[in-house]
Amino acid sequence: NEETANIFESMNSSQELAKPSTTKTEPFIAQLQYLRKPLWLVGPAILLLTGVVPTLWLPISSIFMGPTIATLLSLTGLDCIFNLGASLFLLIADSTARTAQPCCNKPPHAYKFWNTLANVTGFLVPLLVLFCSRRGLLEPQLPFISFAVLLGPYFLLLSVQMLTEMLTWHWGSPVWLVAPVVYEAYRLLQLMRGLGLGVELAAPNWMVHTVRGLVCGWVLVLGVQLMRIAWYAGFTSSLASSSSVDDY
């Protein structure tokens, strides 16, 4: 009896020692969550300033100087500004989404396969059109510099998106579900800008139809991504509700 009494006394004393530590960490966690709240506005604001504002309010005449290397570099510079803002946004989103408790953020293999297939298809289709033009299957031919002005930044940003997605998968970042949406939404603005440049370059009809087809294809891909986010939100809420029922 004395031994059991000593055991219970030691357990009570250990619990009493553990209580102050938890009470000390709770205000710190609450303060940390409070400091993260402004980031919910800072991240989207960075995305707006670097991606949407230059594309919508900067006139094409200020960056279009004909089918030249200077025009290509100007358009690439705009997309690099967006890429910088997208990287900052994803870093901020990662910091706000991570929790104190470690958890598995690996995406499913089916998700990786679908994203890789969509990105590779979006990469190969314009290259196939260019190959057909060079072979004389599409007339009239489009000079290579004009093709680079229209779709060169598109290829560059698609490559950056593929690299970003692979890094989020490798690091187990919680933003793996959001990263494609950020780049694909901007890609629609990028391709719509390409349609306006096609008019300035007097691009042939087959090139205009190619850009239009890319717009439609990426709208479809973006819609699937948004459906997947909705499914993931419902899946996590069902898991949370089932775990709360199990606790009771």
Rounded Cα distance, 186 and 179, in Å: 11
pLDDT value of residue 33: 54
Verify cis geometry, omega within 30 degrees of 0, for the bond prior to 102: no
pLDDT tier for residue 222 given thresholds of 50, 70 and 90:
very high
- Which of 67-76, 140-149, 216-225 ranks highest by mean pLDDT? 216-225
pLDDT cut 70: percent of the chain above it: 77
Q: Phi, psi at residue 65, to the nearest 5°?
A: -125, 35
What's residue 14's pLDDT? 45
pLDDT value for 21:
45
Listing DSSP states for 98-142 in one string gives --SS----PPPHHHHHHHHHHHHHHHHHHHHHHHHHHTTSSSS--
Decide which of 2 and 45 is more confident. 45
Terminal-residue alpha carbon distance, the chain: 34
pLDDT band at 22; cut points 50, 70, 90: very low
- Whether the CB-CB separation of 102 and 170 falls below 8 Å is answered with no
CA geometry: angle 193, 194, 196, nearest 5 deg: 65
Q: What is the pLDDT of residues 153-182, one digit of tens each?
A: 999 999 999 999 999 998 888 899 999 999
User: So where are the chain's domains?
Assistant: 1-37, 39-95+108-233
The half-sphere exposure of 213 on its side-chain side, counting CA atoms within 13 A, is 12
pLDDT score, position 164: 95
Measuring CA to CA, how many Å separate 192 from each of 71, 148, 167, 187, 199?
A: 17, 16, 28, 8, 11
CA distance 20 to 23: 5
Q: In the predicted model, what is the mean pLDDT of residues 101-118?
A: 83
Output the CA angle 127-216-199, nearest 5 degrees.
70
Q: Which whole number is the average pLDDT over 5-16?
A: 45
Q: What is the per-residue pLDDT across 119-146, written as a single tens digit (0 to 9) for each?
A: 999 999 999 999 998 888 888 888 889 8
Burial of 223 (0-12, 13-18, 19+ CB in 10 A): exposed
Name the nearest CA neighbour of 187 among 163, 143, 232, 217. Answer: 217
